[in-house]
Structure 1
C-alpha cells in the first residue's frame, strides 16, 4: 500500500482512484520555476517515505521534456526544512479567487473541426472537475491571455511512440468561487505532474 500511495498504481499496475497518490507540482515566481513540491493530501509522508524523497532529491533531475535531449538540461534539487513557509494555496488559507501558476490543459479535447464540442468547453470541464474533487458546487471561469503549447505527462511506455509530445495547448485561468475555498487546487491534464496549479489571489475591490 505504501508503494501504491507513492507511485499512484496498485499491485496490478492499475491507477489509484480518488487522488490518493503522491503528486509532483511546480511552483513558479515571475513565470520562472522555483520549487518542486512533493505533495499528498490523503496522508502525511512517513519517515521511510521522507527518506526516499530526500535520496531521490540527491540526484540531478532532467528539466526537459522526455526525448532524445532530456539529459541536456538538468537541475539539482535543494531540500527545504520546515522553517521555509509553504507557498500560497498550501498553507491552509482560503480564498474566493484563484489564478493559474502553471498552464491548465483540459483533460478532454474541447474542439472538433475548430468548433466547441457540446458539453466540453474548458469552463464546463473545469466545473465538472471542481465538483468531482468536491472543491465547490460551481465556479466562474475566465481565460487569461494567449494559449501556449506545453508538454504534458506521457507514460513511460508511450514516450518513444510520439515524435512531439508538447502537443497540447495550455491556458492561464482565473477562478472565482461564491464562497472561499481551501487549496491546493490543481486541475486538468497532468495536474499531478505540475500543470494546472492555482494560487489564491486577492479579489479586486467592488465599486
Structure 2
C-alpha cells in the first residue's frame, strides 16, 4: 500500500522557484521538492489546524521525509514579465528593472500526485487528511491549490519522477534533476529555517537538508495546443455609451432599434448574398424567426434614469461574421430625415443628429459575465422597461388577470415552466417610447405605432429562474425587460 497526496490547481498555474536558482532564470521546480512539501504541511499545521496533536504531526512528517515518487501531469512552461522602477529611476531619467514570473500551466482539473511507499497509521492518515484539505497553495501564494489524500489513484498521461540513490547509474540520455530534501532522520525544527536566515548564515542550503536526484522514468505525451475558443460560444456583446451626455432611458427603444440597424449594415457589407442571420432573426429565405425567441435581443443598460449601455444577446450564441459585424460598431446614427407628421400636423424630428450615439465595445462572452445586472437568478423580477402585451385586452377582461395570462403565454414561448404571480407597480409607462422609429418611417402598422397600453410589473415565480428576461411586444428591442430583485 502507498500514501498518495494529490494536488489540483484551480487557476491552472503552479509557481515555484527551485532552491538556489534566481527568479529571472525562468526555472520551475518540477517535481516539487520533498523539502517544499514538508514545509507546506508544517506551516498549515501551525496556521490553520493547530489543534492537531504535536506528537502525531511530528511522527507524520518524519514518515513523509523519505523522498516520494512524483507524478506530474502534462504541462507547458510560461511566464509573464514585470517592470518596476530601480534606484536610478527619476521623472527625467526612466530606469526600470525586469523580473520574470515563470510558472507551469496545468489543466485546471489535472492532479499532481506525490506517492510515498509507506502505509500510514490511522491517526497519521487522519492528520494528513486535515492538513491537505486546509492547504491554500503549494509553492508561491499564486499557486492556489486543492489537496486531498487519494486512497486509489492511478497516473494517466503523467510524467513519473522517481528518486535516485547515489549508487544508482543514470542513463546519460535520461532526464534528471536535483531537488532539496531533508536529511534522515528528520529534525522537525529545521523546517522553520527562512531563506533570509540561511543566506545570512553563509550557507548554500538549510542545515539538515540535502540534494537528492530524481529521474524521469516515464514521460507524459506533450499536451495538444489549445484551440481558440469557437466564436459562437459568445452569447453577449456589451457596448458602453462613450459620450458625456447619455440619453434618457425612456428613449432606449430608439437606440436599440438603431443598434440592430447598425449590426445588419455591418453584416451586409461582409456578405455577398442573403443568408440566415441571428442578428436579424431571419432564415436563409428571409422568413422571420419569431417562434422560439433564440435570435438576437437588443437590450438597454440604464442607471439613474439614463441609458449607460447597450447589449446584443443571442441565447444560442453569435459567431463568425456576425460577431465581427457587431464588434465593428462604433456609433449609432439614423439615416432618416425630418418628415411631416400628417397625424399631428407638425414636423417630427427624426433626423440623423437627434439619434446619434457614440458607443464602444465593453466586453464579449457569456451573458452572466458581460451583463450580470440582467442575468441573475431570482424568484422575483421587476420591470426595468414597461411590459406591453402583444394582444389587446377586451373590455370584459380584468386588467391584472389579462397581464398574468400574457406573461404566462410569453414564458411558454421561451420554454420557461415556472408559474408567475403578477403585481402591478406604479410608474409612468406612457413616457417610454414604445415604437421603433425606423418602423414608423416605413409606415409599419405593427411596429410603428404606440397605441397599446402597458404596465410596470413585479413577477413572483414559484421557483428561481435565470435571465435575461424580456417579454411581450418588442421584447427583442428592450421593451418588457425585467431585472432580478
TM-score norm. by structure 1 comes to 0.78
Q: Give the Cα separation in 1 of the matches to 2:293 and 2:442.
A: 23
Secondary structure of 2:429's counterpart equals: strand
More helix by share: 2
Q: Give the Cα separation in 1 of the matches to 2:275 and 2:444.
A: 31
Q: Which residue of 2 aligns with 1:75?
A: 357
Instruction: Report 1 or 2 for greater relative contact order, CA contacts < 8 Å, sequence distance ≥ 6.
Output: 1
Displacement of 1:129: 1.5
Q: Which of 119, 126, 137 is matched with 2:407 structurally?
A: 126
2:372 is aligned with 1:87: yes
Secondary structure of 1:189's counterpart equals: coil
Q: Give the Cα separation in 2 of the matches to 1:191 and 1:85.
A: 20
Across the aligned residues of Structure 1 and Structure 2, the Cα RMSD in angstroms comes to 3.1
Q: Which residue of 1 aligns with 2:466?
A: 182
Q: Which of 287, 300, 308 is matched with 1:34 structurally?
A: 308
* Moved >6 Å (runs of 4+): 117-120
Largest Rg, 1 or 2: 2
Q: Which residue of 2 aligns with 1:135?
A: 416
Secondary structure of 1:170's counterpart equals: coil
The aligned length equals: 192
Secondary structure of 1:124's counterpart equals: helix
Displacement of 1:9: 1.4
Could you tell which deviates more after superposition, 176-185 or 26-35? 26-35
Residues 75-129 of structure 1 show CA distances to partners (whole Å, capped at 9, x for unaligned) of 1112103598423232xx41111101111101101144xx427997111111121
Q: Would you say the 8 A contact 1:28–1:102 is kept in 2?
A: no
Secondary structure of 2:408's counterpart equals: helix
Residues 118-144 of structure 1 show CA distances to partners (whole Å, capped at 9, x for unaligned) of 997111111121233222331011111
Q: Give the Cα separation in 1 of the matches to 2:441 and 2:398.
A: 27
Q: Which residue of 1 aligns with 2:381?
A: 98
Q: Would you say the 8 A contact 1:131–1:138 is kept in 2?
A: no
Secondary structure of 1:27's counterpart equals: strand
Q: Which residue of 1 aligns with 2:333?
A: 61
Q: Would you say the 8 A contact 1:58–1:76 is kept in 2?
A: yes
TM-score norm. by structure 2 comes to 0.36
Q: Would you say the 8 A contact 1:23–1:192 is kept in 2?
A: yes
Q: Would you say the 8 A contact 2:296–2:313 is kept in 1?
A: yes
Match runs of 1:104-119 below 5 Å: 104-112=387-395, 115-116=396-397
Could you tell which deviates more after superposition, 189-198 or 145-154? 145-154
Q: Give the Cα separation in 2 of the matches to 1:21 and 1:197.
A: 16
Could you tell which deviates more after superposition, 76-85 or 167-176? 76-85
Distance 1:151 1:11, change over 3 A: same
